[in-house]
Structure 1
Amino acid sequence: MYIDSLQLRNFRNYKENVIDFSKNYNIIYGENAQGKTNIVEAIFLCASGRSHRTSKDIELVNINSNSYDIKLDATKNQEKTNIEISYEREKKKVIKINEIPLKKMGNLMGNLLAVIFSPEDLSVINEGPSQRRRFIDITLSQIKPSYFYDLQLYNKILLQRNSLLKELQNNRGLIDTLDIWDEKIADIGSRIIKARHEFINRLNKAAKYNHSILSDNNENIEINYSSSVETDNYEDIDKIKANILMDFKRYRYIELKRNTTLKGPHRDDYEIFINNLDVKSFGSQGQKRTVILSIKLSELQIIKEETGEYPVLLLDDVMSELDYKRREILFDNINHIQTFITCTEKDIFDKKDFKDLLFVNVKNGNTIIKNI
């Protein structure tokens, strides 16, 4: 899979711009605050339907406009795909695939496969469980659109169940209806937990290999899935469902007191260890960056295994975060993948023997293309 071209209109600081990309390396360089990351952001938006920097579409609109438009042409399985995303203030975002409007966001998933590595990814380690779940959810949604639908439906049902728990404070006559919502949450939640558990197992296996190389065999990484729902077999979906229902009964009194659902995939997390030490608490900044790099390389491999194609790789301002050795290992692992790299200096690429290298110089929302 690769991206042929990207057209931006009134997106961030881009008024009107079209870029034709190389199938291999695309080096997007320039001074800070010129719009380099905005290009990567637009690509990721076309893959996932969301920005990696903000949840508000209004923040993506050029300051002198009321709307933005993105058009992206890609080739997948030797077939051309066109993705269009349009947004106007106070209106819903419109997404089209090959000029056909999508009725559901889930229909976007899988049309463009992308993995992004940015400084914000350290939040997977440093921040709370929601950031770690978000990483899993974005990857799984790309390779399994059914997972995306399950996640959306689960979140809707969770809101309704929590609303009912609050309403029961004033109307205990509705207590019997709680069983209906318990059944619905357990049914969908068990599928989500099973999918996440399988993904983390695969990620752990791949990351062990990648991290061993990146650390010169000095470090062993371990990624453990930690579900709020305990079971002795996360492969058995019926058992997971039964345990969710059992937990609901066990915690009902506390949930009624707190007005919130205490068990389910919305409470799940995973832990990352290096040489048996928790990376979040004891890892250095260098170790944390290496962990994220190991995970991202593993994510590339898993997507290839699932879909038969490598995703495009977006490296946003991370070259300066990696030492020479880790950069070389990274390049060795991605030389067969279309890659977009943002950086302030292009010197480290001038002497690289890259095939079809494209330099894109960005100055205040304008691009100058240089083929090498």
Structure 2
Amino acid sequence: MWLKNITLLNFKNYADADLRFSKTVNAFVGNNGAGKTNLLDAIHYLCLCKSYFNPIDSQQIKTAEELFLIQGDFDRQEKNEKITCGVKKNQKKQFKRNKKEYDKLASHIGLFPLVMISPYDVTIIMDGSEERRRFMDNVISQTDAGYLDELMIYNRHLLNRNALLKQIALTRRYDPALLEIFDEQLVSSGQKIFAKRKQFMQDFITLFNKYYQYLTDDAEPVDLTYHSQLNDTAFETLLANSIEKDKVLERTTTGVHKDDLIFSLRDMPLKKFGSQGQQKSFLIALKLSQYAYVEKYKGFKPLLLLDDIFDKLDDQRMHKLMEMVSHHDFGQIFITDTGKERVLNIFNQIKVPVTLFEVTNGAIHHA
């Protein structure tokens, strides 16, 4: 699968743009703030229906304009697919595949898989468990069509149960029969999510260990562990045991919405004890594992987006990463960097052709 072209209208700092890409490496070069990352984000929109950086669609519209439009043509298993995304202020987002609008956006997820590596990814390590669950859910959603639906069902049941807990606190009236119905719904959905996450992690950890060892020459032992309350106790038991606490706090304190990924280095938390270099290696290994996992289950290579990555890697890690590229482990790649000569030198060394675009304040020129 590869993206043949993209057209932008009023997207972020671009009034309009029309770009045609190569099947291999495409690089956007220019100064910081010129809009290079915005081009990667436009590609992310086409593949995953949303921005990588900002969940509010209307904030992607160019200042003083009323709408944005992104359109692209993919070659997917030797068939042309036209994807269109439009956002108008105060209106529902429109998403079309071959001019036909989706009934639900979730149907699009996984058709055009993508993996992005960005400096923003440090939130996966440094922020709360929600970021790590989001990472896990993003990978599984691109390979399992029913997973995203199940997540939405679970979250709906969770909202209902939390609303009931708030009502109990407000009215002082407790209806065990109604709570039991909500518990059954939550358990049914939660068990399916837990089973899928557990299966995913069994495959993913093997890939992660391989990539981390490769990037660092097996420099230090690291661990990636899936933590869930359901690992040790049945979900219905967890809910029954926590009901008094839940009534006091007016929210559900146990379940798969509390799952986490534990990152450790020599049995110590990576967040506290990992150097910047070790954290970068960990993140890149996570994302390369995501790429390999998605490719394995989709049967074709996802797009790989590398945002400002050369600036953040030492020579050894950059060499290792480019070594993989040169061995054709990846399909179509999009890169941003501030240094035109650096990009040309890197890809000349590994004898991989690169299509270069120079970006200057929202204007793009084929270099």
TM-score (norm 1): 0.94
Query: For 1:185, what is the secondary structure of its paired residue?
Result: helix
State the shift of 1:229 in Å.
2.2
Whichever residue aligns with residue 311 of structure 1, its letter is P
Whichever residue aligns with residue 80 of structure 2, its letter is K
Whichever residue aligns with residue 223 of structure 1, its letter is L
Q: Distance in 1 between matches of 2:220 and 2:59?
A: 41
Q: Distance in 2 between matches of 1:145 and 1:226?
A: 24
Q: Distance in 1 between matches of 2:6 and 2:324?
A: 25
Is 2:27–2:356's contact at 8 Å kept on the other side of the alignment? Answer: yes
Q: Distance in 1 between matches of 2:223 and 2:45?
A: 31
Q: Does 1:55 align with 2:55?
A: yes
Q: Distance in 2 between matches of 1:90 and 1:175?
A: 41
Q: Distance in 1 between matches of 2:271 and 2:197?
A: 21
Matched with 1:348 is 342
Matched with 1:67 is 67
Q: Distance in 2 between matches of 1:87 and 1:329?
A: 40
State the shift of 1:46 in Å.
1.7
Q: Does 1:223 align with 2:224?
A: yes
Matched with 1:13 is 13
Q: Distance in 2 between matches of 1:203 and 1:129?
A: 18
State the shift of 1:105 in Å.
1.4
Q: Distance in 2 between matches of 1:306 and 1:88?
A: 35
Whichever residue aligns with residue 366 of structure 1, its letter is A
Q: Distance in 2 between matches of 1:166 and 1:230?
A: 28
Matched with 1:117 is 117
Matched with 2:107 is 107
1:180-209 CA deviation, whole Å, 9 max, x = no partner?
111111111111111112222222111111
Query: For 1:160, what is the secondary structure of its paired residue?
Result: helix
Q: Among residues 238, 251, 274, which one is paired with 1:247 in the alignment?
A: 238
Query: For 1:40, what is the secondary structure of its paired residue?
Result: helix
Q: Distance in 1 between matches of 2:68 and 2:175?
A: 46
Whichever residue aligns with residue 38 of structure 2, its letter is N
State the shift of 1:257 in Å.
1.1
1:152-203 CA deviation, whole Å, 9 max, x = no partner?
1111111111001111121525332111111111111111111112222222
Is 2:15–2:62's contact at 8 Å kept on the other side of the alignment? Answer: yes
Q: More deviation in 220-229 or 53-62?
A: 220-229
1:248-282 CA deviation, whole Å, 9 max, x = no partner?
11111111111101111111101012222221111
Structural mapping, 1:209-220, within 5 Å: 209-220=210-221
Percent identical: 29
Is 1:189–1:264's contact at 8 Å kept on the other side of the alignment? Answer: yes
Q: Distance in 2 between matches of 1:77 and 1:275?
A: 43
Whichever residue aligns with residue 130 of structure 2, its letter is S
Matched with 1:35 is 35
Q: Does 1:132 align with 2:126?
A: no
Q: Distance in 2 between matches of 1:254 and 1:329?
A: 50
Matched with 1:290 is 281
Structural mapping, 1:330-349, within 5 Å: 330-335=321-326, 336=328, 337-349=331-343
Is 1:114–1:311's contact at 8 Å kept on the other side of the alignment? Answer: yes
Structural mapping, 1:107-186, within 5 Å: 107-169=107-169, 170=171, 172-186=173-187
Whichever residue aligns with residue 43 of structure 1, its letter is I
Q: More deviation in 291-300 or 325-334?
A: 325-334
Q: Does 1:366 align with 2:366?
A: no
Is 1:5–1:72's contact at 8 Å kept on the other side of the alignment? Answer: yes
Matched with 1:198 is 199
Matched with 1:305 is 296
Q: Distance in 2 between matches of 1:173 and 1:290?
A: 51
Q: Distance in 2 between matches of 1:302 and 1:344?
A: 30
Matched with 2:254 is 263
Matched with 2:264 is 273
Query: For 1:219, what is the secondary structure of its paired residue?
Result: coil
Q: Distance in 2 between matches of 1:23 and 1:188?
A: 41
Q: For the structure 1 residues 148 and 334, does the alpha-carbon distance in structure 2 shift closer, same or farther, using more than 3 Å as the test?
A: farther
1:56-115 CA deviation, whole Å, 9 max, x = no partner?
111100002011001011111111111111010011101111111011111111221100
Whichever residue aligns with residue 276 of structure 2, its letter is Q
Is 2:44–2:114's contact at 8 Å kept on the other side of the alignment? Answer: yes
Is 2:344–2:354's contact at 8 Å kept on the other side of the alignment? Answer: no
Q: For the structure 1 residues 101 and 171, does the alpha-carbon distance in structure 2 shift closer, same or farther, using more than 3 Å as the test?
A: farther
Q: Distance in 1 between matches of 2:173 and 2:140?
A: 39
Query: For 1:213, what is the secondary structure of its paired residue?
Result: helix
TM-score (norm 2): 0.95
Is 1:211–1:219's contact at 8 Å kept on the other side of the alignment? Answer: no
Query: For 2:53, what is the secondary structure of its paired residue?
Result: coil
Whichever residue aligns with residue 361 of structure 2, its letter is N
Matched with 1:237 is none
Query: For 1:111, what is the secondary structure of its paired residue?
Result: coil
| Cα-Cα RMSD | 1.3
Structure 1, unaligned runs of 5 or more: 232-239
Q: Distance in 2 between matches of 1:89 and 1:175?
A: 44
